[in-house]
Structure 1
Amino acid sequence: MELTAEIAAYRAGSGDPGRLVGEFRRAVLLVPLAGGSDEADSGLMSAFSGGIRWFYAFTDEEALARFAEARGEARREWPYLAVLGARLVDAVVPEVDGPAGVAVNVADADGSMLFPPVAGIVPDAYAVDVESESAAGVA
C-alpha cells in the first residue's frame, strides 16, 4: 500500500501504525526549498509550531500545488527535492537544533499526517519521548 492509502486507513481508524511508519520511510517525498528558486542558498521549507520544527513534505506534485494554492503562492515557482522519508528522519532531523518532525500533505484536510519526533519515527537520540543517557545520569 502507498503512503496516502496508509494515511487514509490510519485516519479512518483501520490503519496500523507500524505499516504507516514503514510506508512513510519508503516513500519518496517532495520537500520544497525555503529560499525560492536559488537552490544553492535554500534549506528545506519548514515551520516552527509547538516547540517542534516541522519539515513540509508532499506525496506528489498535486499535493504540493494544493499547499502553494493554500498559501496564495500558486503562481511562483516551487523548487523541491525528492527525498526518502527515511532520509528525512534519519539524516535531516539530527541536523536540526531542537526537536523536528515531518508534516506530510499539510494542505489536505483529510489526507495530512504528522510524523513527530518520537521513538520509532526519528532516531532515539532525537526523540522527545526517550530519556537521554545524560539526563538519566548514565555516563
Structure 2
Amino acid sequence: MEQSRSALAEQITERRRGVGDPRALVGEMRRAVLLVPVSGGGLWSARSGGVRWVCGFTDEAALARFAELRTGPDQPMDYAALLGARIVDEVVPSLGEPAGLAVDIATEDGSMFFPPVVGIVPDSAAVDAAERQGGHGHGR
C-alpha cells in the first residue's frame, strides 16, 4: 500500500514540474489507495468552480496536514481508505453532479486535481462526453 501512495506522490511532483506522462499519472491515481476524510456519514468533499471535489490523500502525513487546517492540531479525523479507481468509477458518478477527485489539497505545491472529464471518470459522469463524441445536441 505504501509503495503505491509514494508512487502517486512522485507522479504528481513530476507533473507539477511539467514532466512525466499525464496518462501514467491517471493510471497511478487509479492504482493508489487514497485516504478520504469521512464527515457526517459521507466522504468529505468541497465545491469549487462548479465541481464537487472528493478529497483524497496519498498518506497519513498529507491527511494530517489537512486535518490540522480543518479541525486544529491533534484532532483526530476519521477516514476511509479507497482505491483511486473506486473513487472515480463509483463514488464520483453516484454524486449526481459534476464531480472530480482532488489529491493532497493541503500539501504546498503537491496537490493535483482529476476533473470530471473523459479518460478520468466514466463517460456518463464526464462533463465533456458530448463534445468528445462530436455531438452538440443538434439534430437534422
Query: Which sections of structure 1, spanning at least 5 residues, go unmatched?
Result: 36-41
Q: Which residue of structure 1 lines up, in the alignment, with residue 51 of structure 2?
A: 52
Supply the distance in 1 between the matched residues of 2:96 and 2:117 (Cα, whole angstroms). Answer: 16
Supply the distance in 1 between the matched residues of 2:10 and 2:103 (Cα, whole angstroms). Answer: 13
Query: Which sections of structure 2, spanning at least 5 residues, go unmatched?
Result: none
Supply the distance in 2 between the matched residues of 1:64 and 1:117 (Cα, whole angstroms). Answer: 23
Which structure is higher in helix share?
2
In the TM superposition, what whole-angstrom CA distance separates every residue of 1:43-86 from its partner, at most 9, and x where no partner exists? Answer: 00001111111011000010000111223423322111000000
Once the two structures are aligned, what percentage of the paired residues are identical?
A: 56
In the TM superposition, what whole-angstrom CA distance separates every residue of 1:76-116 from its partner, at most 9, and x where no partner exists? Answer: 22111000000000000111121000110001121110011
After superposing on structure 2, the runs of 4+ consecutive aligned residues of structure 1 that deviate more than 3 Å are 132-138
Superposition RMSD on alpha carbons, in Å?
1.9
Superposed displacement of residue 130, structure 1: 1.2
* Count of residue pairs brought into register by the alignment: 132
Q: Which residue of structure 2 lines up, in the alignment, with residue 91 of structure 1?
A: 90
The answer on 1:3 being equivalent to 2:8 is: yes
Tell me the amino acid that sits aligned with residue 92 of structure 1. V
Is this contact kept in 1: 2:68–2:75, CA < 8 A? no
The answer on 1:12 being equivalent to 2:17 is: yes
